[in-house]
Chains A and B, each alone.
Chain A
Amino acid sequence: MRGLNRWAYLFILPFFVIFAIFTAYPIISTLITSFTNESMATMSTKFVGLSNYYSEITSGLFWKSFGNTLAIWIPNIILQMAIALLLAAWFTNSELKLKGKGVFRAIFFFPNIITVTTIAILVYVLFDWQHGVINQLLFGSGTAETAKYINWFDRGWRIQLIIGIIQTWMWFGYTMIMLMAGIQAMPVSMYEAATIDGASGARIFFSIVLPYIRPILVYIIITSIIGGLQMFDMPWVLFQNQGGADQGAMTMSVYMYSRSFTWDQNLGAGSAVAWIMFGIIAVASFAYLKVAYGKEDRQDGIN
């Protein structure tokens, strides 16, 4: 038996070799680069200490990208959670007995698996202000009507709102499915006790169901923080490194990519931005965990 355990090392070897090369090494290498002035534009690279970090933290553009990211993410997470909770509550409501759950679940999930690049081009076409479907639907397509067309992409806040709503559209189904799974895993006895006590549907949902699925809510929000604060694909495909009007679509990742690979190809500065982002994401996640779980002991860790 003891001898057999040695096989484990052979079996996990491919994973950890590839892991070391393609995951661990790049992370460390990025960290080291962040302390240098390495750039694709110039040949000589030297150690510059924390100066990249200093210049990014004092850079208006970096904080602008931070603000842009939040302006996209915050409306999205609120809207997405509200819609997903409402739909999940309805679909699991034993009084309403809604039909076609499986089909609706699948339809709501569909936008989630479409390539973000495709979605971005779809947005580009639908929201095109002269010929896009959105304006055509809102105002009609005569000459008088076209005068009223809204140029959706000419304000930073509008761009942010549109991207945020598209994110909601892509993710509310996914979130709903997770919430439904959590609610359905609830022991029936918990409902029954409340129903006998005469609690209303809404009351049951807020004081019994929500606390029960809290771990799932926390998981959804943490993964959304990690994913949302890194958003790149859609703003990049729509506006590339300019970020569109008012640079509204210049998220932290777009800024980081632009610094590293397009503007001055400053890999050192880009690496520093990446690590600052990591710091922000980690702090946000832990702060949220703290708020969500408060002083309570965590009952069960992993393993």
Chain B
Amino acid sequence: MTNKNNTSMLGISKMSTLNAKRLFAYAVILFFVLICILPFYIMVINATRSNNQVLSGVSLLPGQSTVDNFKNLIFGKIDPNSHIRGGGLNIPQGFLNSLIIAVSSTVLSGYFSALTAFSFVIYRFKGKKFLWSLILAVIMVPTVVGLVGFYQLISNLNMIDTYWPLILPAIASPFAVFFLRQYMISSIPLSLIEASRIDGASEIRIFHKIVLPLSMPGIATISILGFLGSWNSYLLPLIVLNNKQLFTMPLLIQQLNTTLYNRDFGAMSMGIAISIVPILLMFIFFSKFLIEGISSGGVKE
């Protein structure tokens, strides 16, 4: 629209170099788009092709072995020598396990992080400054520093092969508290809280009826991040869980690499494709929240 008018002012040569630049930029961007999408696309396509088809070359069109791959992935294959079926992964169970852990920890983290952040925003209390710097410091502490101690703790508490060590720590999520405090400072009018106090509302009621609803967009953002963090977590479940029935998706997917029939590329691709589905769904519905969350973090640091 304004481009047309600018043409005469800028002169033809400047305009065409600009167009050339733009074309170049789009070409590079397209390259990165392909790099980001193609591996997943090929994987989804390979999930529909037989092992032999996958071995014989790349295809951009689906095959007809979807059901077989799914069966081989979950129930394993029959070994031609011993005639024993083996190597299957209980993906539905893993899905359920991951869902239980991720949903519980997300809910706990959302609620308690909001409660903690709220306290740091509106109250004045002794030790506030110290506790706040503690929270900030811990965000920067690498997780490996407590790994052996974490293992010792949960084995002493007899929590090996339970979900408690993967769920309960969500109550203390320093980054979520940090994020929500920033969010609340800019989105909760203190005058509203004062007014409700005068109306006789209790502090607990103020939190539940005013602060929680007003902070919902912030809580949603941090919950999506928290859910993904929990769903994708690998190191802690690896330490806590030995029983295969309890395995989360990342632990099961890892077995694609070590399991007896790991050379079935169709079934492996199926495993990869399935494990991406919930993340893809979250991405489709919530990518806006996620990107806004990251962006706001960037500006405020």
Contact = CB atoms under 8 A, between A and B. Distances in A.
Interface of A: 4-9, 11-12, 14-16, 18-19, 21-23, 25-31, 33, 83, 86-87, 90, 95-98, 104-111, 113-118, 120-122, 124-126, 128, 131, 133, 136-137, 141, 169, 172-174, 177-182, 185, 215-216, 219, 222, 226, 229-230, 232-233, 236-238, 240, 253, 256-257, 260-261, 267, 270-271, 274-275, 277-278, 281, 285, 302-303
Interface in B115-157: 115-116, 118-120, 123-125, 128-129, 131-132, 136, 138, 140-153
B132 A303 contact: yes
Query: By DSSP majority rule, is chain B's interface helix, strand, loop, or mixed?
Result: helix
B287 A109 contact: yes
Contact of B294 (A6, A87, A96, A177): A177
Which of A107, A179, A222, A257 lies at the interface centre, i.e. has the most chain B CB atoms within 10 A of its CB? Answer: A107
13 contacts: A8-B125, A23-B172, A26-B152, A33-B149, A106-B291, A115-B234, A116-B232, A116-B250, A124-B257, A126-B42, A180-B295, A274-B146, A285-B140
A253 B144 contact: yes
Query: Majority SS of interface residues in chain A?
Result: helix
B169 A22 contact: yes
Nearest to A174: B294
B253 A115 contact: yes
A274 B203 contact: no
B149 A28 contact: yes
Interface in B9-38: 18, 21-22, 25-26, 28-29, 32-33, 35-37
A178 B148 CA distance: 34
Interface residues on B, range: 35 or more
A181 B300 CA distance: 10
B217 interface: no
Contacts of A169: 35-36
Contacts of B55: 131
Contacts of A109: 287, 290-291, 294
B149 A14 contact: no
Nearest to A260: B148
A118 B272 contact: yes
Q: Which of B131, B171, B251 has the most CB of A within 10 A?
A: B171
Given A113-B228, A125-B43, A274-B148, 11 more contacts: A6-B125, A30-B148, A96-B21, A110-B283, A120-B257, A121-B254, A121-B257, A121-B271, A177-B295, A253-B144, A278-B144
A18 B141 contact: no
B268 to A, nearest CB: 6
A21 B153 contact: yes
Interface string B263-286: 001001101100110010011000
A96 B234 contact: no
Given A23-B172, A113-B290, A107 B254 contact: no
A87 B32 CA distance: 10
B296 interface: yes
